[in-house]
Amino acid sequence: ASINRALGAGSGMVAILIGMVITISVQSSSITTSVLVPLAASGVLTLENIYPVTLGANVGTTVTALLASLATGSPAAVTVAIVHTLFNLSGIAVFYPVRALRNVPIRLARGLADLVMDRRSMAVAYTVGMFVVV
């Protein structure tokens, strides 16, 4: 309960910063998000608190590209990396503060979870469908 309270502080901004710091530290958003899965499954963290950590991890992973671009010394590479970081930060700044927009991914995740609990084959269908679409 205290972890959820800490992550919920500052309307989720603490959780976003934690996601960024962890991802920058380990240089992998996959590690950050993979650690969250068992914490969610066991009920240690709520979906509402995991979502901003994941957003922070998304921004944190852009730092890897930024560091790589600085190593190249190419102005074009640095520009692309900065734009990548600013694009992700802008997405959070525009969509996260609006509660109605912030809750859309959470509602969709819950709906998909309910569907998969009723029909396990939908997990495979969703994964294959996203692979084809994306």
Q: What is the pTM of this model?
A: 0.85
Mean confidence (pLDDT) of the chain: 91
- The DSSP-derived string for 59-122 is HHHHHHHHHHHHHHT-HHHHHHHHHHHHHHHHHHHHHTTSHHHHHHHHHHHHHHHHHHHH-THH
Q: 134 pLDDT band (50/70/90 cuts)?
A: confident
Owner of token pair 């692979």: 131
Q: What is the pLDDT of residues 78-125, one digit of tens each?
A: 999 999 999 999 999 999 999 999 999 999 999 999 999 999 999 999
Cα pseudo-dihedral 127, 129, 132, 134, rounded to 10: -80
CA–CA distance, 49 with 42 (Å, rounded to integer): 14
